[in-house]
Chains A and B, each alone.
Chain A
Amino acid sequence: KNQVEQSPQSLIILEGKNCTLQCNYTVSPFSNLRWYKQDTGRGPVSLTIMTFSENTKSNGRYTATLDADTKQSSLHITASQLSDSASYICVVSLLRGADGLTFGKGTHLIIQP
Chain B
Amino acid sequence: DSGVTQTPKHLITATGQRVTLRCSPRSGDLSVYWYQQSLDQGLQFLIQYYNGEERAKGNILERFSAQQFPDLHSELNLSSLELGDSALYFCASSVSGGTGNYGYTFGSGTRLTVV
Contacts and interface: CB of A to CB of B under 8 A. Distances in A.
Chains A and B belong together in one complex: yes
B106 A44 contact: yes
A45 interface: yes
Contacts of B41: 105
Interface size class of chain A, counting residues whose CB lies under 8 Å from the partner chain: 20 to 34
Contacts of A41: 88, 108-109, 111
B104 A46 contact: yes
B8 interface: no
Interface in A74-95: 89, 93-95
9 contacts: A31-B99, A36-B106, A42-B109, A93-B100, A99-B45, A103-B43, A104-B42, A105-B41, A105-B42
Q: Closest 6 interchain pairs by CB?
A: A43-B106, A99-B56, A98-B56, A103-B42, A105-B42, A103-B43
Interface of A: 4, 31-32, 34, 36, 41-46, 49, 89, 93-101, 103-106
